[in-house]
Chains A and B, each alone.
Chain A
Amino acid sequence: MIWIDTLAQGLLLGGLYALFAAGLSLVFGIMRLVNLAHGDLIILGAYLILTIAHATGLHPFVAVLLAAPLMFGLGWALQTFLLNRVLGNDILPPLLVTFGLSVVIQNGLLSAFTADSQKLTAGAIEAQSMDLGIVTLGVMPVLTFASAVAVVFALNQLFYRTALGRAFRATSDDAVTAQLMGIHPQRVFAMATGIAMVVATIAALYLGTRANFDPSIGPARLLYAFEAVIIGGLGSLWGTLAGGVVIGLAQAIGASVNPEWQILSGHLAFVLVLLIRPRGLFPRAND
């Protein structure tokens, strides 16, 4: 019975990792940009929700509705005024610039909020659970996983059912030819980063309500996100969800054996998947 509980907790934790990773996967899939500041942008999102909640007295679940458009604007501006300038055939400039951005965000948050740990308080819901007979699940972890599934589903609908999604896929295929179809690749990239930041804000909500956060924890979230994206297969959104679940399950199983093994088990699962399937679980045919 305890194993079922462990597997359920791992599955639900995977939802959080998938939320960390979905924005990264989206941006990589469309413009082959590896955003090393993604983890820090999630933490920035968490501080933004915290600030809005403190200033207005709103519940974090409501504050996130105000934070999301602001983060969309930030992502759009970041892509338009900074990242579009360094995108090109050479992959090094975007890596260096986003690494620099990561340092700037961490230090900016440190100056503004100090190194003290913070937490988003969601109230009674944090302690609520659902008894399913064979297993008892926390409401928040279930909500986190459901949100991850909803986000991946929504992004897939956007990709395959809308004009913007077709522009995303066309630009991802061949940005030069896309221009000859009237598509402005740099605007498409700005929309994609904006949407990725909305997803990062949703991830920030569940990160901040689940555990304490401080300005320095972004890079570790980036690592989990990376692992989830790579396990899933680069650019595949459902694969990213599966990747998050693999890490979540590995961590939960590792922790049940020995609490000190939790983080290590996730990384070992990542290495194992790479050894068996180097292109990930669901690689895209054209990559």
Chain B
Amino acid sequence: MAVVADAGVLYGLLAVGAGLATGLAGIGAGVGEQGIGAAVVGVVAEEPGFLGKGLFLMLLPETLIIFGLAVSLILMFAWTPFSAIVTP
């Protein structure tokens, strides 16, 4: 059975989904980085030589955003099955 839907609405929903994927992943990474950042500032105050390692540790949770972004990119650019649904 072919589902007939407004292509514009579907595309809009896709865009909303893509936005949510990156945005929510960003919030998650931010929550993760918050704790690390606070700890790193503490350590750097004691021992300035730790700054490099600290900055690097700060980046670890940023992988989460990359995952979210990957999902967004797939939704926006590479999601071909959606065209099959739209055509009646």
Note whether A and B form a binding pair: no
Residues of chain B having any CB pair with chain A under 8 Å: none
